Amino acid sequence: MHISLEQRGLRSAAIASASLLPAWTGRLITLARRRLAGSSNETRLSAAMDISPTAVFLHDAVRDDSGRLTGFRFNYLNSAAERLIGHPRAYLKGKLVTEVHPASDLPLYQRVLDSNEPTLVERECSLPGRPKTVLRMHLSPLPNGLLLTCEDITAERRLARSLAFNKSLVTSTTSSILVLELDGSISSLNPAAEYMLGYTQPDLVGKSITLLHDPIELLERSRQLSSYFEREISPDSNVLFARPQAGLHEAGEWTWICRNGVRIPVQLTINPVHDEDGVIIAFMGTSFDLTDRKQTDQYIYHIAHHDPLTGLAGRTLLREQIQLAAERSERTHALFSVLMVDLDHFKRVNDSLGHETGDMVLREVAFRLRDSVRKSDTVARFSGDQFVILLDGVSGRIEAEAIAHKVTEAFARPIHVGGQQVILTASIGLSMYPESASPEELLKHADIALHHGKTTGRNGLAVFTPELGRLLHDRLRLESALRTALERHELFLVYQPQISLSTHRLVGVEALLRWRSPEFGLVMPNTFIPLAEETGLIVAIGAWCLECACQEIAALQRQVGNTISVAVNLSPSQLHEEHFLETVERALTVSGLIPSSLEVEITERLLMSDSEESLQIVERVQSLGVTTAIDDFGTGFSNMSYITRFKVDRLKIDRSFVSRCLSDANSLAVTTAIIALAHSLNMEVIAEGVESVEQAVMLRALECDSAQGYLFAHPLTLPEITSYSRSMHDFDENTEAPGLWMYRTPASPGPVTFDA
């Protein structure tokens, strides 16, 4: 016969309670009657009653002159009663019960006397120094009183409630629970287990738990456990019980076989059940069906490892496949290759046809790439318009190049989407393993080859070579040196003067970054700034530039008494850095520079790429009192409507328009339009790259506000710009020829003059 654990507990408690009370009660009634009858051996009677584990009270009935019952007095109580009630018997003897316990159940006592029948009741009561206590009370009538025996059953009731709660919990829980005997047979299972497995209670009770398990799985686990415990563990229920019996946690993933033959993954935890002596008497198995979780995990894995737009592998999956290919190559010496494919000028597709059409084009490209390679190859979308193909198991470079040319041919046919015909070409960089020492280098080498191919002409294949590797090595050396350049004080600023075209005065400077490296010499920004952007160093470098420029120009203002401003270029990474505004505030506070003397320059392309966020940043910068300018204005001329949303203070005309404005009518028209647009929006205009007097004259005629360029001065160091500022100030004070523009340059101590 199989009984559940909760049935075992309740039965034990019931037996313990029921076996004590009747036996003692009969004996106690006899003793009580003798005591009331005035037995001469009262001491022996008291001693006999004192050995009772049950609390015993003898109450005398109290009646008035008419014989009506008015209450009860304490006549006797044994030691167990003293402990229960919390008062010594000497204190209680002769006292009315209601004096000690006003809430005593006198009507109950009255009914027992009137009926002359013993009564068994349970009461919850409050006793001195105890929490709420549940008593089982046996009341027996005596000739002129009452025998009351009390047993504290609080723990029993608590156990019963706990068992009832546990039974309800086991029944209602969605977890599958099985109670297992020591031999592995199933003693009981809850409804959740029945539902999950398709079996009913009668189907499984008495059957071995191994009925649900995959035999091959049991055999494999038995081998593992036998090795762990260094003894034979048979491939049956012992596989489940070995660890709990050894005091170890047992939880793992198993395959269970349902009644209909369907195999499901479950998470099974086995816990031992102990008796009061700590001996294991059974096991309880709790299991969860992992089917939904597995499907969710597979879905999440797919989403995390595949590109949602094209369905191709993503970066993570690509790296995993490359790592696996490298491990196979180590074992079998097989070769494999990586192709990095970049769509030439794909941005034009998005700009002209829209991103929705661009996405359709990318999906078609993905299809063509998959169709161009072997089924064993992995095609991944690496970034926006960049793809990587892993050619696993090629015979050598010749085969890899042949597949790469086939990929190139996939773009020979136009792509038709949304009624539009799109013609694309692709540049490809190729690298081989094990020529590249690691999977990570394989991708870097393919990227180096790709960019090398783009610089020498697009729509072609470039193969990584050791020479390109040396270029990479030089780049890494430069990156390593750049990482320490800031702390070694190798960076410094130079300043290019900005001249008012109406007053001829120095009105500001642009701070330009330079790097004097002990290893590489003077490194220009176009060499190391892109590297700083790529490595993330630009944020720290940009913050330093901002602080240094504010400090040096504040000092310059104090020396020459001129409130010239300083313009500082901001990189996209710096502008969107979380603490950018704090950096600006700190630079102004520490230097003492007034906010209006600082101008931050933001490129037009940055504003157009993320206009909403950029607009918020510009507004926050302006709220500090700092002026703002759009650098290289006009280079993003395809859409200038955004300029009305950005209330910047100044536009900077790109040098490409200034250099051609005297020879090209279109450039002159654009320059004229920019100046007119800026003034209509209450913005100032500055032209950069002014190198001739003729350009300066023309810009003044177009009412351009200020200019900078080699005509006025090359970029100057701080001492040079200090001297330059003083000489300009002195010259402005002494000039009496408003029809002349005169400027000093470092190369010529005298003024450069020309007629306005």
Taking only the tens place, the pLDDT of each residue in 195-223 is: 899 999 899 999 999 999 999 999 999 99
* Cα–Cα distance measured from residue 22 to residue 25, given in angstroms and rounded to the nearest whole number: 5
Residue with the larger pLDDT of the pair 531 and 162: 531
What is the Cα gyration radius of the chain?
A: 47
Give the model confidence (pLDDT) of 506-541 as tens digits.
999 999 999 999 999 999 998 899 889 878 899 999
**Residue pair 715/726 in contact by the 8 Å Cβ criterion:** no
Distance from C-alpha of 659 to C-alpha of 689, rounded to nearest angstrom: 7
d(CA 565, CA 190): 80
pTM of the entire predicted model: 0.48
Decide: 430 and 401 in contact? Cβ < 8 Å. Answer: yes
- In 3D space, the residue among 338, 329, 303, 331 whose CA is nearest the CA of residue 317 turns out to be 303
E strands of 51-167, at which residues? 55-63, 69-77, 119-125, 133-142, 145-152
Work out the pLDDT band at 608, boundaries 50, 70, 90.
Answer: low
Q: Which residues are CB-contacts of 531 (< 8 A; sequence separation ≥ 6)?
A: 475, 478, 479, 482, 537
pLDDT tens readout for residues 457-493:
778 899 998 887 787 778 889 989 999 999 999 999 9
* Stretch among 59-68, 119-128, 602-611, 658-667 having the lowest mean pLDDT: 602-611
User: What is the rounded CA–CA span in Å between residue 721 and residue 719?
Assistant: 6
Q: Say whether pLDDT at 17 is over 50.
A: no
What lies within 8 Å, CB to CB, of 358 at 6+ separation is 346, 349, 350
Residue 522: CA count within 13 A, CB half-sphere: 6
Buried b (16+ CB within 10 A) or exposed e, 370-386: bebbeeebbbbbbeebb
- Model confidence at 166, in pLDDT bands (50, 70, 90)? low
How many CB atoms neighbour CB 65 within 10 A? 5
Domains along the chain with CATH numbers? 5-157 (3.30.450.20), 173-294 (3.30.450.20), 306-464 (3.30.70.270), 490-755 (3.20.20.450)
User: For residue 304, what are its two tokens?
Assistant: 């995390």
CA distance 632 to 654: 4
> Could you tell me the CA-to-CA distances from 355 to 358, 442, 596 in Å, in that order?
5, 31, 40
Q: How far is CA 729 from the centre of its chain?
A: 58
d(CA 131, CA 157): 14
Please choose, from the candidates 175, 208, 174, 201, the residue with its C-alpha nearest in 3D space to the C-alpha of residue 283. Answer: 208
Averaged over 249-260, what is the pLDDT? 90
- Round to whole Å and give the CA distance between 553 and 722: 9
pLDDT, position 371:
93
Structure tokens at 378: 């992995």
Q: Which residue has the higher pLDDT, 637 or 258?
A: 258
